[in-house]
Amino acid sequence: MVDDPPPRPRRAVRLRPVGDGELRLHHRVVHGYRRAYRMAGEGPVLVLIHGIGDSSATWAELIPDLARTHTVIAPDLLGHGASDKPRADYSVAAYANGVRDLLASLDIESATLVGHSLGGGVAMQFAYQFPERTERLILVSAGGVGREVNPVLRAVSLPGAHLMLSTLRLPGMRFQVGMFARLMRLLDTDLGQDAPELLTLVDALPDVTSRSAFIRTLRAVVDWRGQAVTMLDRCYLTEGMPTMLLWGDRDSVVPVRHAYGAREAMPGSRLEIFEGAGHFPFHSDPARFLALVEEFTSTTRPAHWSREHWRELLRAGRPGSAAGQPDTVRNRAVERDLRQASERSAT
């Protein structure tokens, strides 16, 4: 194995103004489908990948600050936002391929990936499929780590979900959902921490095409038992890749205990917990989020991928596995999750 490179010195920050025109949606046709994205700034590339049912708009308030020191690209994943919503492959691997192809069409060779929720799973899958294109990983309340997920998402994965979601468009339902969300917030529940975002997701499903794309995406990663994909069995491959995990300690969608499991499974990763935040810590405390991203990207070196090192990691295998050296103290919790997730795969 090779040692991780020492942190690089903090670079001199050169701030540049970001015009309103840079924040508008752009469109590019890839494989015959129109894909929407936002692109702003100059410098090292940051790719912001949103979660299920969301869009690049979730990053809109952060992009101007990030774009002062970075080239920021925030796509609307296929089936989301202003991108096309075909009857297509909405698996995590397909999304990783789509991000790669969009970046290639924009002449971007490599980037730091920032992924939220489903986008975190896509970012991890991207790093697994295309390590030579991945400089760093910043995973925000990421999916693909443990089985647990909010019961509402498990319910929507069941047959009849189309009918369930279509009722949200009935007269008065938007008001009732809003009242429920506000009640959850008044009661100071974990679910209530994300009430505004939950209402935004409801509004993002205005027609049958949007609802169909949402359900197809959800069923690719969630079933009635919980999350159906995992990256825990190959997280050891991130050795040498700067990785930061950001999580809200009141996340009702992906529990914060998943953050600790991910840190154990990803050698050298860094974990930052946002106290009092739910599933959207970058909305709850944007100033801290921006500071952490800037500090992390300016003080770590981009991952250096080599075929030889990748081969060594694969041959050694996951710590605690048959091919690797046992490390029962470090991997006890991870091994338990892996046994529970034995039927799950993100490949």
Catalytic residue set: 117, 251, 279
Distances (CA, A) of 34 to 44, 68, 77, 319: 26, 28, 10, 42
Q: Which of 81, 82, 77 is nearest to 95 (CA)?
A: 77
Neighbours of 322 (CB within 10 A): 7
H/E element, 210: helix 208-221
Give the Cα separation of 147 and 145 in Å (integer): 7
- From residue 242, alpha-carbon distances to 56, 69, 135, 286, 292 in Å are 24, 19, 8, 21, 13
End-to-end Cα, the chain, rounded Å: 25
Question: Residue 224, class by beta-carbon neighbours within 10 Å (0-12 exposed, 13-18 middle, 19+ buried)?
Answer: exposed
Angle, vertex CA 98, rays to CA 93 and CA 103, nearest 5: 130
28 strand-pairing partners = 35
Burial 28-42 (b: 16+ CB within 10 A, else e): bebeeeebbbbbbbe
Q: Give the chain's largest Cα–Cα span.
A: 61
SS3 state of residue 201:
helix
